[in-house]
Structure 1
Amino acid sequence: MDRMQHHTRGIAAILAASLLWGTTGTAASFAPDVSALAIGAFAMGVAGLLLVLRSLGELARDRARLLVQSRILLLGGLAVAIYPLAFYSAMRLSGVAVGTVVSIASAPLFTVILEWACTRRSVSLRWGLSFAFGAAGIALLATGRPEPGSADTGIAWTWLGVLVGLLAGLTYATYSWAARHMIEQGVGSASSMASMFGVAAIVLLPSLLLTGQNLFATPINAGVALYMALIPMFVGYLCFGYGLRYIAASTATLITLLEPVVAVLLAVLVVGEWLAPAGWVGMTLIMLSLLMQTLRSSPDASG
């Protein structure tokens, strides 16, 4: 298989992960009495255990390489653990719109900074234009959505939410870069994701003692929790890890801007939310950003 075919497969895998991740908001809406922190911790933690169990053979095969990359592995695992807590906290503090914009739109930029600082990977003009369109689209998409429950959010809490959202973007960028780095050092993609998520599970699952009171209180709550763990997180991160075998982390995080588009479309079609014209313009800009990354003549290292 030539390089272009590998690149196309990587793009397709990241797009599949983004589609699955985009279903989480609608799924969580069916369990409103469950803490968002609990759902995030359970989904990421259980997915981590499943990834480890699914990849036991690969982990045994790659154990020597993982030991060499132990610092990167620990860094990536802690980033995986922090990300859902920071992401959901940002939305709780500053509202869904601001929290989403800061967390998701900042991740590709942080990834590029990490790649440049650690490997001196160049940034292409195509990537820069794609990021500009995508970030503008995310902002318009967020302003076009209703903001339930955030009218009384104070300025101080909003700015705290912005800072926490930046932490979410940084941690997402960090574990994406860490996975890609380990893959480039010869660790299998399954081993890279499973080892990081295994570390995160050790951190996240005990937190359910404080946040998970209603997680299995009803069959619907249990179904939502299990769906989130099995489909968007377990299957989604299998796809994400596979995609990182073939494309740069900066490109991968940029493509995952599709996630909020899917989330909004499902919110409109399934939950019945309303979307202002600005939101539809934002979707158009995000799709343009994705097209700039996926319709290309040849892959390159710069994203």
Structure 2
Amino acid sequence: MKLGILFVATSATLAGTLGTFGTVLFDAGFSGFQVASIRMLITCVVLLAVYPIVFRGCFALMRDNWKLLLPHSIAVVFGFSMLFFIATEYLGVTLAVALLYTAPIWVMILASFFLGEISGLVKWALVFCSVAGVAFVLNTQGQEIKLSLLGLCFGFGSAIGYAIFAVLGKIALRTISAKNLLFSALTFAIPLLLLFPSTWQGLEQLSQSRDLNVWGSFVAVSLLGTLLMNVLYMNGLTRINASTATVITTIEPLVATFLAVFIVQEILAPSQYFGVLLIIVSATLIGILDGRIKKESKN
């Protein structure tokens, strides 16, 4: 249980660095779709390179379980990653992240239907406190945010995609190992990316770039923010339930905020510090509550 929380918390920390590296790539002229697609393609190349050593036999498993694994892969590649980066183009990073972190509510709803996870009023209250904390942390006073109906749809879509990814992953982990699920999640839907002209345009732009910051940022969002992040998340998901894992991932906006403070030298408002406290307390209490429930069920 404690190890599962550690894995998910570390995964969320790595995810929190994506905004810093993504800013470099947006400034270099890459679109949100291109950043997301190249990020996934680089990750896929690395996974295929180590396939004979680490993932041998996984293609046969993907063929036999494609009805579950293909939707799971589409959820993470398109439903979560792609929609989130597109949402940032329409709404900006702050609002896109805020909408993404409505995911705990979607996860609890889906988990109750498909996983049979029962969440009491206390757990629901903690989830809403956590989401409220995210809202406080992402409150940018004095900054105008241009709202777009299409952008809002993409933002909520990324949250629902993340929830589907988490719930389908939990179901798949009943019969499939974490490493094989990781491989299928990050490779199954990749060929679909190559059907989009924007993907090839982004790859051409990257091939012509001589900026080490651009190449380094793509390596970072791929290996740290995608591969290692998902390895830790999948392993954490085998130890704690889906709704608990999603609440813990609210650490991500904390990391993003702190990086903005130390790197961009932004100053946090008192309300944002209050949000930090809300998220930390909610995540801690939800973990304690989940641990007690598991202990009582064993007894």
Normalising by the residue count of structure 2, what TM-score does the alignment of the two structures yield? 0.86
Structure 1 gaps of 5+ residues are 1-6
- Paired amino acid for 2:32: A
- SS of the aligned residue for 1:300 comes to helix
Q: Give me the whole-angstrom Cα distance separating, in 2, the residues matched to 1:41 and 1:81.
A: 8
**1:284 corresponds to 2:277:** yes
**1:130 corresponds to 2:121:** no
Structure 2 gaps of 5+ residues are none
Who is 1:119 aligned against? 115
Who is 2:181 aligned against? 192
1:38 Cα deviation (Å)?
2.1
**1:203 corresponds to 2:192:** yes
1:256 Cα deviation (Å)?
0.5
Who is 2:225 aligned against? 232
1:169 Cα deviation (Å)?
0.5
Matches within 5 A, 1:20-39: 20-31=14-25, 32-33=27-28, 34-39=30-35
Matches within 5 A, 1:151-300: 151=145, 153=146, 155=147, 157=148, 159-184=149-174, 186-204=175-193, 207=196, 208-215=199-206, 217=209, 218-296=211-289, 297-298=291-292, 300=294
CA contact 1:189–1:241 (8 Å) conserved in 2? yes
1:58 Cα deviation (Å)?
6.2
1:114 Cα deviation (Å)?
1.6
Q: Residue 43 and residue 127 in structure 1: after superposition, are their counterparts in 2 closer, same or farther (change >3 A)? A: farther
Task: Give the count of matched residue pairs.
Answer: 288
- Paired amino acid for 1:91: T
CA contact 1:81–1:203 (8 Å) conserved in 2? no
Q: Residue 287 and residue 191 in structure 1: after superposition, are their counterparts in 2 closer, same or farther (change >3 A)? A: same
**1:103 corresponds to 2:83:** no
1:52 Cα deviation (Å)?
4.9
Q: Give me the whole-angstrom Cα distance separating, in 2, the residues matched to 1:247 and 1:211.
A: 38
Q: Give me the whole-angstrom Cα distance separating, in 2, the residues matched to 1:266 and 1:205.
A: 33
1:295 Cα deviation (Å)?
3.5
Q: Give me the whole-angstrom Cα distance separating, in 2, the residues matched to 1:44 and 1:127.
A: 34
Q: Give me the whole-angstrom Cα distance separating, in 1, the residues matched to 2:44 and 2:163.
A: 18
Q: Residue 62 and residue 292 in structure 1: after superposition, are their counterparts in 2 closer, same or farther (change >3 A)? A: same
- SS of the aligned residue for 1:254 comes to helix
Q: Residue 283 and residue 167 in structure 1: after superposition, are their counterparts in 2 closer, same or farther (change >3 A)? A: same
1:69 Cα deviation (Å)?
3.1
Greater CA drift, 213-222 or 8-17: 213-222
1:95 Cα deviation (Å)?
3.0
Who is 1:4 aligned against? none
- Paired amino acid for 1:46: I
CA contact 2:115–2:171 (8 Å) conserved in 1? no
1:68 Cα deviation (Å)?
4.7
CA contact 1:13–1:239 (8 Å) conserved in 2? yes
Q: Give me the whole-angstrom Cα distance separating, in 2, the residues matched to 1:298 and 1:48.
A: 39
What are the superposed Cα offsets for residues 62-96 of structure 1, whole Å, 9 maximum, x if unpaired? Answer: 66664453211111111112122211222221233
Q: Give me the whole-angstrom Cα distance separating, in 1, the residues matched to 2:39 and 2:231.
A: 14
- SS of the aligned residue for 1:247 comes to coil
Q: Residue 211 and residue 250 in structure 1: after superposition, are their counterparts in 2 closer, same or farther (change >3 A)? A: same
- Paired amino acid for 2:22: A
From 91, 94, 97, the counterpart of 1:94: 91
From 7, 10, 16, the counterpart of 1:16: 10
- SS of the aligned residue for 2:119 comes to coil
Q: Residue 134 and residue 178 in structure 1: after superposition, are their counterparts in 2 closer, same or farther (change >3 A)? A: same
Normalising by the residue count of structure 1, what TM-score does the alignment of the two structures yield? 0.85
- SS of the aligned residue for 2:117 comes to coil
- SS of the aligned residue for 1:42 comes to helix
